[in-house]
Every structure is written in C-alpha cells, then in structure tokens.
Structure 1
Amino acid sequence: MNILYIFAASLSIVMIANFVLTAHITSTAPRKGGGAECESPGPLLPIGFRVPEFGAHTVDGEPIFSWEFDRPTVLGFFTAGCPLCEQVLPEFAEVARTLRAAGTNVISVISYDGHNPQWPIGDSATEALARRLGAVSQVVLEWSDDAVTTALRATTPPAFYRVERTDGELRVTGRASSPRFLSGREGPDGTYSPRS
C-alpha cells in the first residue's frame, strides 16, 4: 500500500511540473500575427492585388465598408506594444494629416493577438494608441485575423497601403513599409520613394 502512495505522489509531482513547464513555454513562445514583437514588416501585397470586400466599425461605432470607398484610401496597420509601430507613429500622424487635407480617406487598424480576454477594455496601451491615431484618422480595433487585417494580409505591422476602386474592384495602388513614403513619389511598381 505504501508503494501505491509513493507512486501516486511521484506521478502528481511529475504532472504538476509538466503543467508549469508547458504554461511557461506557451506564455513565452513567439506568436504569429500581430503580436507586440513585430521586429520587421512582413511582405507587402503586390500592386494591383484585388482586395476582398470588407466591413468593420470604428472605435466611434461608425461603419466602414470597403464597397463604399469612393476616393483613395490609405490604411495603416499597427499593434500596441510594437516598437516599430511606436517609432513610425509620429511620421504616420504627420503624413495622415497631409493626406486627409488633400481628400484622402485615412484609416488606422490596430490589430490585437487575443492574449487579453477582456480586450480592448482595460488594455491601456491599445487605448492610448487608439487615442493617438484617432487624432489623425478613423480607427478600427480588431483581432489579428479580422476583416480588414485579413483582407490586406497585414499580419505583421507596421504596414501601409493605398487602395482605390479600379473598374469596380478595390485594388492595391500603393504600398509602403514606412509612412514617410506615403507622401512621396510613387515609383513604376507602385512603391513609394521619398520626395526629391
């Protein structure tokens, strides 16, 4: 009988150690998608890419439907806690003000990877980012696999696109890995370079 108790206690200790180790590994493992560890932008969609239609709501509750885009639209993709996103945010704000004044629709998408079950309530970093972006654009908060992020495959922020309706279809007409290029000169492949 004592051997049975020793075996059960040993098994319990091994199971608890396994649980603790598994919890530690999963909490520290790199995440795919819009996590805070966005060290470099992902590949950008090609010019001419047909963007699937999408719908979303801004943080103010305003609906945004891609099929209603009747003017050029710039979309900036961000994630709270992303060092590169924080680095380019002041530039994006400046460029967004200029583009909006020229009649371009500007939408900022803050994607979230889902590790806070109460998001966005109580996520102060996301709320602060939404306030900063809201001063210069419409802001959409969404999970990293929701409508806008999925339509433009913007899984690794920061990323910036210009989309326009061409022959009735929404297409990528400009792309940049940095907002400073959005107000620059467009090259023959639709990428931007700084103004000369």
Structure 2
Amino acid sequence: MSVLWVALAVVFVICLLNLMLTLAVIRRLREHTELINRGRVQPPGQGEITLPAGSQVGDFRVVTGDNREVTRDDLRDGMLVAFFSPRCPSCEEQKPAFVRYASDLPGGRDNVIAVLLGSPEELSGLREELGGLAQIVVEADVDGAMSKAFGLNGYPAFCLMGQDGVLAVTGFQVDVLPGAVAL
C-alpha cells in the first residue's frame, strides 16, 4: 500500500510542476503577445514610422470616401495626415487623442486625411468614427499609394505637413504634434 501512496505522491508532484510550468508559459505568451501588438508602433530610436520630417512626400493619387481626388499637390501647410488600422491596439489607444487634436485643427475635416489600412469590412466602424472628422482614404495595406508616398513603416502614424508636400512633423503618437496634449 505504501508503494501506491508514493507513486500517487510522485504523480501529484509531477502534475503540480506541469501546472506551474504551463501557467508560467501562458504568462510569458501574454507578455509576448503584448510586445508583438506594440511592434507595429515604432518606438523612438527604432527608425522612422514614416519618412522623416523635412522629407518630401512621394507622388500619389487617391480618391477619398466622398469621391474627392487627392494628390501630393493637395497637401498644404498645417494639414494632418494619419494612418490607422483596425488590427492595431496602439491605433485604438491613440484614436481619442487624434480625435481631440483633429477637432481643434483649423480648417476642419478639409485639413485632415485619415488613411485606413485594411479590408472594407474591417474598416466600416473606423470609417464611421472618423468620417465626420477627416477625409477618409482606404488602402488594403502598406503597399497603397499614400502609404508608399509617406514611407509608412508601421501604425499609427501622424504627419503634420509643411509647405510643398514636405513633412513638418512625424511620429507614432499624437503628442509629437505641436499643441497636442500628452496622453
């Protein structure tokens, strides 16, 4: 009988160790998932999220959701261009600050372009949220015309335009924009 108790105790200890190891792996996977989700955002010093400030945006021609054609020549001094994806947790975190900033921008929605990356089905909610605030451009991915023209490397990305299609300020958080309140 004592051999049976010893065997049960060994099995119990092995199961307990297995459970502890499994919980440790799950915790580590959660940490990795969070890091991966943040990986779409370029932290400072890790390269540029778009072309750097002072660079001229490449040529592009797109049509907004309200059938307006937009080209690089339409980008004016003080215009805000933002890139979002519905699959990006950081985009969701930055969206309230973007809405506040864009709402206070002189010129209203004519001075704001939101480039949404994803399928039309994924973007329906985001289009509704930002449609009254910005001209909406939809691109399937970072190979879209505006994404290429701005040298997009991740999202969210926020670009304040200077004169002649030159980027005045760029960053992955709204608080890099002049007058923005930090989150």
Q: Which runs of 5+ in 1 are unaligned?
A: 1-35, 113-118, 186-192
Please name the residue that 1:61 is paired with.
Answer: 67
Question: Which residue pairs with 1:7 in the alignment?
Answer: none
Partner of 2:112: 106
AA matched with 1:132: E
CA distance in 2, matches of 1:103, 1:58: 12
Does the Cα contact within 8 Å between 1:95 and 1:180 map onto a contact in 2?
no
CA 1:58–1:38 in structure 2 vs 1: closer, same or farther (change >3 Å)? farther
Report the CA distance shift for 1:152/1:38 in structure 2 as closer, same or farther (over 3 A): farther
Contact persistence 1:71–1:105 (CA under 8 A) = no
* CA spacing shift, 1:131–1:183, aligned 2, 3 Å: farther
Q: Deviations over 1:56-113 (max 9, x none)?
A: 111122211221334421111000121110111111001001114579711100112x
Q: CA deviation at 1:47?
A: 1.8
Matched, 1:86 2:92: yes
AA aligned opposite 1:170? G
TM-score (norm 1): 0.63
- Which structure dedicates a bigger proportion of its chain to strand? 1
The alignment of Structure 1 onto Structure 2 pairs a total of residues equal to 140
Following the alignment from structure 1 to structure 2, what is the Cα–Cα distance between the partners of residues 163 and 76? 11
Q: Following the alignment from structure 2 to structure 1, what is the Cα–Cα distance between the partners of residues 146 and 90?
A: 20
Equivalent positions of 1:1-196 (< 5 A) are: 37=37, 39-42=39-42, 43-44=48-49, 45-101=51-107, 105-112=111-118, 119-120=119-120, 123=121, 125-144=122-141, 145-165=143-163, 169-184=164-179
What residue identity is the alignment partner of 1:162?
Answer: L
Contact residue 112 and residue 135 of structure 2 kept, 8 A: yes
Q: Counting helix residues as a fraction of each chain, which structure ranks higher?
A: 2
The answer as to whether partners of 2:114 and 2:135 remain within 8 angstroms in 1 is yes
Letter of the structure 2 residue corresponding to residue 172 of structure 1: L
Q: TM-score, normalised by structure 2?
A: 0.67
- What is the alpha-carbon distance in structure 2 between the residues aligned to residue 38 and residue 142 of structure 1? 21
User: What is the percentage of aligned positions where both structures have the same residue?
Assistant: 26
CA–CA distance in structure 1, aligned partners of residues 110 and 78 of structure 2: 5
8 Å Cα contact 1:58-1:138 kept in structure 2: yes
Could you tell me how far 1:38 is from its partner in structure 2?
5.3
**What SS does the aligned partner of 2:154 have?**
coil
